[in-house]
Amino acid sequence: MLTVPEPDLIRVAGIQLENVVGDLTGNAERILDAMRWAEEREADVVVFPELALTGYPLADLVLREEFVDAALDRVRWLAERSGNTAAVVGTVDRVPPRRSWDTRDRDVAISSAIVCDGQLRGFYHKTLLPNYEVFNEARNFAPGSDPARVWRIGETIAGVVICEDSWSGDGPPEEQAAAGARILLVPNASPFNLEKPAGRQKLVSEVARRNGTPVVYVNLVGGQDELVFDGGSLVVGADGELLYRARQFEAERFVLDVPLGGERPVTVTPKTVHTRPRPGRDPLPAPRPAPQISADEQVWCALVVGTRDFVRKNGGARAVLGLSGGIDAAVTAAVAAEALGAENVIGIAMPAPDSAPAELEDARELARRLGIDFHVIPIADVTAAVERGLGSLLERESAPGAAEALQARTRATLLWAVADRLGHMPLATGNKSELSIGSAALFGDMAGAFAPIKDVPKTLVYRLAELRNARDEVIPPRILDRTPSVQDDVKTTLPDYEVLDPIVQRYLERGQALDELVALGFEPAVVRGVLQLVDDAEFKRRQTPPGVKITTRAFGQDLSMPITNAWRPFHAEEAELVAPDAEPGPPPWSDEPLAAEGA
Amino acid sequence: MLTVPEPDLIRVAGIQLENVVGDLTGNAERILDAMRWAEEREADVVVFPELALTGYPLADLVLREEFVDAALDRVRWLAERSGNTAAVVGTVDRVPPRRSWDTRDRDVAISSAIVCDGQLRGFYHKTLLPNYEVFNEARNFAPGSDPARVWRIGETIAGVVICEDSWSGDGPPEEQAAAGARILLVPNASPFNLEKPAGRQKLVSEVARRNGTPVVYVNLVGGQDELVFDGGSLVVGADGELLYRARQFEAERFVLDVPLGGERPVTVTPKTVHTRPRPGRDPLPAPRPAPQISADEQVWCALVVGTRDFVRKNGGARAVLGLSGGIDAAVTAAVAAEALGAENVIGIAMPAPDSAPAELEDARELARRLGIDFHVIPIADVTAAVERGLGSLLERESAPGAAEALQARTRATLLWAVADRLGHMPLATGNKSELSIGSAALFGDMAGAFAPIKDVPKTLVYRLAELRNARDEVIPPRILDRTPSVQDDVKTTLPDYEVLDPIVQRYLERGQALDELVALGFEPAVVRGVLQLVDDAEFKRRQTPPGVKITTRAFGQDLSMPITNAWRPFHAEEAELVAPDAEPGPPPWSDEPLAAEGA
């Protein structure tokens, strides 16, 4: 009788960890707790995300020697407490100085420490250092010099690579598989954007198929300043087929038995983690992958997690925001209520004398439905006092938009006064469309300690409102139905957001130029006008609060333009959006109105 | 009779250019004008700064294909207009894609175009790309692949390297000298800090001596956002001795006859610029190097140039700022008056009911002496209106510092209202000491479009006031004599600025840790308390306006820390500055008072 040989299985645990940048003691406790969980489940190896111990990204914190010392101390602390289960712990390590692209030596590497049986068995050092978009790892880190390193974990030869290492097609995964690795363990700190989850799964499958090895891809979860790490860890077989997918936007621990890739010659001397044979144990039932959630749901979760973690990890618990009766404030309030609990959010309506009464009613009704605290502070007294104070200065000239900007700044002043007195974090409610074209007042509409929907285009703000209301109708329909009141103005009229948003997205996120946009069917004059507004608005964007990145290119580090920048290819005569007499135009810090809308 | 052979002289012009980032047309005109100036002086070669045509730094502007296309067009336009004098023009070039440290191809290089006789003769591509402190060139640029390239300019073999290329000790200068170069031409975009000028001259001399070649080091001049390029171009002989130094902080053109380094074998095939013999001409008299100015004078000039260029290059001409009667506002006002002309600056005193009458008098007297416009707007009406508006919210709790922060934000609101109505740029007056320890209100004291003295420690603010007064006494002595009123507070007392500033400087600029500072003689409890304040204040620093970098590490891109960061090694029991009952402490966005002072 023919016996089918039992497949070689390795039991792998993955820890989709929530951590805090710099919290070495707390993160080490979290890691140790998960190591013990994995040992109880008789895992052969447990994989943590990239820089699990230190947090990601570290920016210039890693330049502090005493921080690196403290991280190395904590790695030894974890090693002493390690047991039978090998643990792959993301941290930093000191390496011999390397100089690769400028005149400075770097001597710290992004690393995975491998600990087992009370010992530190060694480090793998990340070889490829992303240095684009939100990443600047080449600034402070040295690349590793041993991309083919593999590890003997009992009977298994395993490879360990880190995040970017996987994506070159001819990098560490390929070298380690060629050196004998039958499984690849991949810690990551991969921040969310709308195109990431699908792209990640495709790449992980390709790495597995190319190398004939299963891949265990473990991602971080939680918000860190502008980034949200969305988890969604993946395990794929050597054929590239999905074996498991963890949930997005939640901490999770998982363990499964993974069939190893085919046996192959071992061509380098592996580092030994341990040499025990695989224990006899019953195989685990295959876990069920988490369902994929829709793109809009992912954005919603990213906003909630990003807002929650920015407030909480900075020592806060509560937030305050202005409720205008518009859709932006409504979505921001709904996000804040879900992130912090309705009881921890205060909404403040700050109507001006010319505000529509329906907007105040809508703001009140929104607060009632969300269950958040609600106050009304009319601003007329304050703006009148300011105008009295300005006195003769007020008479000199009358710039359009100044009165509106004063209202916005008065609201910001009131919001901050409440925040100061109550300890609530003030949230700004501006969206990406406004920020793109500069239709927001510096220290006015965009004033706040955090701006949850800063990277959300207006059309997506509407979809998020509908998504939230599908669960239960917290946003009064009148807010959704109200047409954004585009203000008529001597200088500018704007296209609808349905036209504006795709132009801005293609210009900023895909780098498409005028001619490409026109070839897609957009009106040349409209495109020119919009691109000009986008270029002109960098001045204002620079001082806006951080917000949650959800698109492929968010304003900020991700898309870093000079403030002072005379590159204005779109100032052309056919740009209908700007009248010829508009030159030289208002200074870039001014508050000429472009578009006003109900939020 | 023995004839001493005439030394081989090459006539070199250097153009310490002022340009504007992105202004390809304007910069090309400026370059062409200087090329003609050099031709009139029969220069063999004229050297422009790094990225003279495009401006520096370009940040992500260089990711736009249409920008690179337009720059290449302008290079051809310049080439067509070039004459007998070879010109070394800083610009960008497309190169074959290179991938060196991550998985992305880069295909644009920082370059020097060599143009002559109506032709584009070729490019040198920068080989070393600085990626630290304010530099992130490895983000968007490809390194050059031909560091040994040399150029035949008539009878001379010349090398061209760019900025960072010079500083490795074994880089392009060494390769080019070994390949036969008898002179090194070095375009630069080297931003000012207090330690730069001396360091630069030392390095340039070392490069010359090591390679036995004269070095012509040409630097950019002018402000670009947070950076000020200070010129101070240098020419040194093959023995490392100074032949010429251009002025700092001013545009300048210079031309001189430089003795070439010793003849040597030419080991690579030089690119030919032209093959004409050196023309017969009378030698030029040796020019007199500009005198070196003191460190404090350099800072003063940097503030003036940085403020002037930020306002003017962004399309403005005038500024408005609050005059408190304190030293910070006084120095900022004096800088603004010198940068923009007294007639273009408005000072506004905004006294609160509890402000000292002497401070208002001093503000008025300062404005009179500077010759700037002056207005008084008391803020009591506005703050009373805000407090009335807050109503019951005000009663809930009473956080210390809230009233003071409200005053600061009211002043900011008034300042912006004036700015909006008159088109003046609002300037913030905060200094680096305050920003270090977080004693400033977000959107309050630090509100403005630009913060001239943001990187100036308080002790240096005083020295700058004395420096300015030595010319003519514009700052009333009473402002200088007034002791900063450190506010007594339940939680915190601060050391004098004479102690605070060096601790902060050593911690941030030199990376010194607690034990090193204590070893220098600082009180351990004081050091702990200060470092803790510095670490805690990152939250507020993130949203401050740009300001002029003058130290080796300015807040901002130069010293980029995570906002959310639990690394707090200084929260220890012996930290006397923070009382034990202060935990959990105010949230980081709050305005707990730390120190108040007269500006």
The DSSP-derived string for A28-60 is: HHHHHHHHHHHHHTT-SEEE--TTTTT-S--GG
* B57 inside 8 A of chain A by CB: yes
Per-residue pLDDT, B402 = 81
Q: Which of A488-502, B61-75, B128-142, B353-367 shows the lowest per-residue confidence on average (mean pLDDT)?
A: A488-502
From B41's Cα to the closest Cα of chain A, the distance in A is 32
Rounded CA-CA distance A81/A78 in Å is 5
- The H or E element that residue B345 is part of is strand B345-349
Joined together, the tokens standing for residue A592 give: 């000429």
* pLDDT score at A596: 34
Q: Which of A116, A126, A313, A540 is catalytic?
A: A126
Q: Return averaged pLDDT per consecutive 10 residues of chain A, 599 residues in all.
A: 67 98 97 98 98 97 96 98 98 93 94 98 97 95 96 97 96 98 98 94 97 98 98 98 98 98 96 93 95 97 98 94 96 98 98 95 98 97 93 67 87 92 93 91 85 97 98 96 58 81 96 95 93 90 93 93 87 42 53 41
State whether B389 and A414 contact (CB < 8 Å). Answer: yes
pLDDT 10s digits, B248-287: 999 999 999 999 999 999 999 999 999 999 888 999 999 9
Q: Cis (ω within 30 of 0) for the bond into A265?
A: no
Q: Which residues of B touch A137 (CB under 8 A)?
A: 102
pLDDT at B55 > cutoff 80: yes
Active-site residue identified among B18, B116, B137, B163: B163
Note the pLDDT of residue B591. 60
With bands split at pLDDT 50, 70 and 90, how would you rate the model's confidence at B493? Answer: low
CA nearest to A351 within chain B: B389
Interface of B with A in 229-268 (CB under 8 A): none
Question: Residue A579: what pLDDT?
Answer: 35
DSSP A96: E
User: Which residue in chain B has the smallest CA separation from A58?
Assistant: B562
- Cis-peptide into B57, omega within 30 deg: yes
Q: Does B102 sit within 8 Å of A101, measured CB to CB?
A: no
Q: Is pLDDT at B578 greater than 50 in this prediction?
A: no
pLDDT digits (tens, 9 = 90+) for B326-346: 999 999 999 999 999 999 999
**Per-residue pLDDT at A567:** 87
Give B574's pLDDT tier (boundaries 50, 70, 90).
very low
Which of A132, A443, A564 comes nearest B225 by C-beta?
Answer: A564
pLDDT at B491: 42
Least confident window among A148-157, B39-48, B571-580: B571-580
- Encoding tokens for residue B265? 């074998």
The reported pLDDT for the residue numbered B598 is: 34
Cβ within 8 Å of residue A162, ≥6 positions away: A50, A90, A110, A111, A112, A124, A126, A186, A187, A188
Chain mean pLDDT for chain B = 91
Given CB atoms, is B514 within the 8 Å cutoff of chain A?
A: yes
| 8 Å CB contact between A532 and A572 | no
A:269-328 residues touching chain B, CB 8 A cutoff: 309-310, 313-316
pLDDT of residue B48: 98
Confidence of residue B489 (pLDDT cuts 50, 70, 90): very low
Q: Which domains are delineated in chain B?
A: 12-279 (3.60.110.10), 296-582 (3.40.50.620)
Look at strands A215-219 and A227-230 and give their pairing. unpaired
The pLDDT, as a whole number, for residue A5 is 55
| Distance of alpha carbon A413 from alpha carbon B416, whole angstroms | 12
**Binary contact (A425, B589; C-beta < 8 A):** yes
A491 belongs to the catalytic site: no
Who has greater pLDDT, B417 or A493?
Answer: B417
CB contact under 8 A, B420 and A405: yes
Residues 26-45 of A with CB under 8 A from B: 26
Instruction: Render pLDDT for B76-116 as a digit per residue (tens, 0 to 9).
Output: 999 999 999 999 999 999 999 998 789 999 999 999 999 99
| Confidence at B482, pLDDT banded by 50, 70, 90 | confident
Q: pLDDT digits over A308-358, tens only?
A: 999 999 999 999 999 999 999 999 999 999 999 999 999 999 999 999 999
SS (H, E, C) B237-284: CCCCCEEEECCECCCEEEEEEEECCCCCCCCCCCEEEECCCCCCCCCC
pTM of the model: 0.94
pLDDT in tens, B495-520: 999 999 999 999 999 999 999 999 99
Cβ-based neighbours of A61, under 8 Å, separated by 6 or more: A21, A22, A67, B561, B562, B565, B567
Distance from CA of B9 to the nearest CA of A (A): 32
Tell me, yes or no, if B126 is annotated catalytic: yes
